[in-house]
Amino acid sequence: MADIGTEAQKFMLVFFRVVSMLWMIPLLSSRYVSVTFKAGVSLLIAFLLYGTVDVAADVLGDPFAFLLIIAKEVFIGITIGFVVKIVFSSITVAGDVMSLQTGFAFARLMDPFTMTQVSVLEQVKYLLAVMIFFAIDAHYIVFKAISTSFRELPIGSAALREPLVHYVVSATAKIFSVGLKIGAPVIITLFLAELAFGMLSRMIPQVNIFIEGVPVKILIGISMLTLSLGFIAPCMASLFKGMDGDVLRILRLMV
């Protein structure tokens, strides 16, 4: 490390925090986005924040301490990016549950963002979340979170504490509850439809409910999804707007 100047080392620490955070965000973590673009955006943001960051001189002079600080910066970036990933995961869970109820879970397609097979409604929910994310300028919240992280949590000051672990576990558990809340109008309607089909099969045993009910459930699910967009879209927007508070809380838990 002797041949690398202190300013270059300082820039590397800033870059590692930024790049590890951006690599966790669903929009940039997909294989569809080139590595060159991800690295370029990370370098640009690190360059813009470089002048506002202070690093202790003794850390930059010790190669072992420098490697330890790099690991800490990567940990900080991954933790912050995890907050954004949780929001998108909650939305895709809602789409997956709705697909399971309507029967769309059998028809899966390749998602170019994650390179995995997803259901139709899950993909619709994800694309809707992406549009709302940019429509309400939530990407500025992400950039603000990066800048705030250097002010609230200076380089090298992060620590893995028990309250942080509890918060991450509880936030992960909320993925399913938030997902059910987002998809509640469709999920509840389809549940009532299932009860109606069950009663109908008791009254008219000759009707094959499993076969005849699939197109009806698809029609009910799509219709209810269309009617509930006025509720779902603001709910998604409130989740994205609340990311800055979640990031600030998780930063203070690492101090």
How far is it, in rounded angstroms, from Cα 252 to Cα 138? 21
- pLDDT tens-digit readout, 168-182: 888 888 888 888 888
Per-chain mean pLDDT for the chain: 80
* 158 phi, psi to nearest 5 deg: -75, 150
**Under a CB-based contact definition with an 8 Å cutoff, are residues 49 and 14 in contact?**
yes
Name the DSSP letter for residue 104.
G
Q: Residue 108: helix, strand or coil by DSSP?
A: strand
Cα–Cα dist 236/238, whole Å: 5
Residue 96 near residue 187 (C-beta atoms within 8 A): no
Instruction: List per-block mean pLDDT (blocks of 10 residues) for the chain, which spans 255 residues.
Output: 65 87 78 80 87 70 78 86 85 82 68 65 82 86 84 78 82 83 86 84 75 80 85 86 83 79
Q: Residue for token digits 């270059």?
A: 8
What is residue 68's predicted lDDT score, i.e. its pLDDT? 84
